[in-house]
Amino acid sequence: MTKSFKSKSKIYSTLCFFALISSVILYSQPSFALAKLGHQVVCQLAFDHLSTAKQHRVTQLLHAVPRKQQTLINQYNHNRADSPITFAKACTWADAVKNQKAFKQYNTWHYMNVSRELTRITSKPLCSKNCIPQAILTHQKQLQTIPRSWESAQALLFLGHWLADIHQPLHVSYASDLGGNKIRLVETKSNCKNLHAYWDSCLMKSAGRTQNEWVESLTAQWNSISIPKFYYQQVWDWANESYQIVRQADFQYCQITNQGECKQTASSIKLADNYPNKHLPIMEKQLLKAAKRLTRILESTL
Q: For residue range 185-214, what is the model confidence (pLDDT) as tens digits?
A: 999 888 999 999 999 999 999 999 999 999
pLDDT for position 265:
85
Residue 61 contacts residue 152 (beta carbons within 8 Å):
yes
Query: Quick check: helix, strand or coil at residue 151?
Result: helix
Number of neighbouring beta carbons within 10 Å of residue 81: 11
Running DSSP on this structure, what letter comes out for residue 31? Answer: P
For the segment 160-173, the average pLDDT, to the nearest whole number, is 98
Burial class (CB in 10 A: 0-12, 13-18, 19+), 258: exposed
Residue 142 contacts residue 136 (beta carbons within 8 Å):
no
Q: Model confidence at 124, in pLDDT bands (50, 70, 90)?
A: confident
All structural domains of the chain = 30-301 (1.10.575.10)
Q: For residue range 77-120, what is the model confidence (pLDDT) as tens digits?
A: 999 999 999 999 999 999 999 999 999 999 999 999 999 999 99
Quick one: how far is CA 217 from the chain centroid?
A: 20
Q: Give the predicted TM-score (pTM) of the model.
A: 0.89
Q: Model confidence at 30, in pLDDT bands (50, 70, 90)?
A: low
Short-list 106, 86, 89, CA closest to 97: 106
Q: For residue range 207-251, what is the model confidence (pLDDT) as tens digits?
A: 999 999 999 999 999 999 999 999 999 999 999 999 999 999 999
